[in-house]
Amino acid sequence: MSDTVRYEVTEGLAKVVLDRSDAMNALDNETKTALRDTLQRAAADDGVRAVLLTGSGRAFCVGQDLKEHTGSLEQSGGSALNTVEEHYNPIALALAGMPKPVVAGVNGVAAGAGAGFALACDYRILADTAAFNTSFAGVALTADSGVSWTLPRLVGPGRAADLLLFPRSVKADEALELGLANRVVPAAELAAEAEAVARQLAQGPTAAYAALKESLAYGASHSLAETLGKESELQLRLGDSADHRIAVEAFVHKQQPRFTGR
């Protein structure tokens, strides 16, 4: 375990907290490795039914630790960017492909890879003091951490190009208008609101949530006919799930279902 990423699981909810508040949760090698490994651990844990990703202090995550990166460039040149394949790609895939819902509690600025990680989550709740910034072009780099895939799907290709070519601070109210945020709440309420939403999801039909994520990702790059086939496949799978039977039984008896996650 690492001192820079906190992890705890209670009642099916895994809380993952970036904890380098003195560095605005910048991603040094220790933090990137710990975040990757922690998310993969949460994905593999059947006891985890939802994940909440957030940051400590006044930032969500400002992306790559450029102080450490400067030293890596001096030692290794461009191969220092191998961190994209080693760390950022697995983190983005773990978030987007997590077989359970992932909520981002964006407590402050989310920039570069930090923005990418938030966008790879399923649901984003922003503090009213938070902001997004792609920032890649500002350091003469292209997008990573899945931003080339997630951003145009959220805001459209034209706006995505604008935000990438001309990096700027997109404050919470604009982020909500653009579709980068699902909710904006007062900063003092962010922690409680994000946890409440994540806990609600942790009590839901986990297998159905996983299938919804799979279906949405599939539909983004396949035809209607192909997507209809995928929907049929997934419905057949869920028809045998315990939670589907629980939900139907509860509906018939006018009760609230108590899902098991299976």
Which pLDDT belongs to residue 39? 98
- pLDDT in the model for residue 250: 92
160, 151 in Cβ contact below 8 A? yes
pTM metric for this prediction: 0.93
Domains, the chain: 5-203 (3.90.226.10), 206-253 (1.10.12)
Sign of CA dihedral 188, 192, 193, 195: positive
In degrees, rounded to 5, the angle at the alpha carbon of residue 201 between the alpha carbons of residues 213 and 262 is 70
Query: Of 130, 173, 163, 137, which Cα lies nearest the Cα of 25?
Result: 130
**What pLDDT shows up at residue 75?**
79
User: So what's the pLDDT on residue 82?
Assistant: 86
Question: Other C-beta atoms within 10 Å of 171: how many?
Answer: 16
Phi-psi region of 225 (alpha: psi -120 to 50; beta: other; left: phi over 0): alpha
185: left (phi over 0), alpha (psi -120 to 50) or beta: beta
pLDDT of residue 1: 62
Render each residue's pLDDT in the chain as its tens digit; 262 residues. 689 999 999 999 999 999 999 999 999 999 999 999 999 999 999 999 999 999 999 999 999 988 887 777 777 776 778 889 999 999 999 999 999 999 999 999 999 999 999 999 999 999 999 999 999 999 999 999 999 999 999 999 999 999 999 999 999 999 999 999 999 999 999 999 999 999 999 999 999 999 999 999 999 999 999 999 999 999 999 999 999 999 999 999 999 999 998 8
Whole-angstrom Cα distance, residue 123 to residue 180?
9
How far CA 237 is from CA of 170, 228, 234, in Å, comes to: 41, 14, 5
Q: How far is CA 52 from CA 132, 219, 249, in A?
A: 18, 25, 30
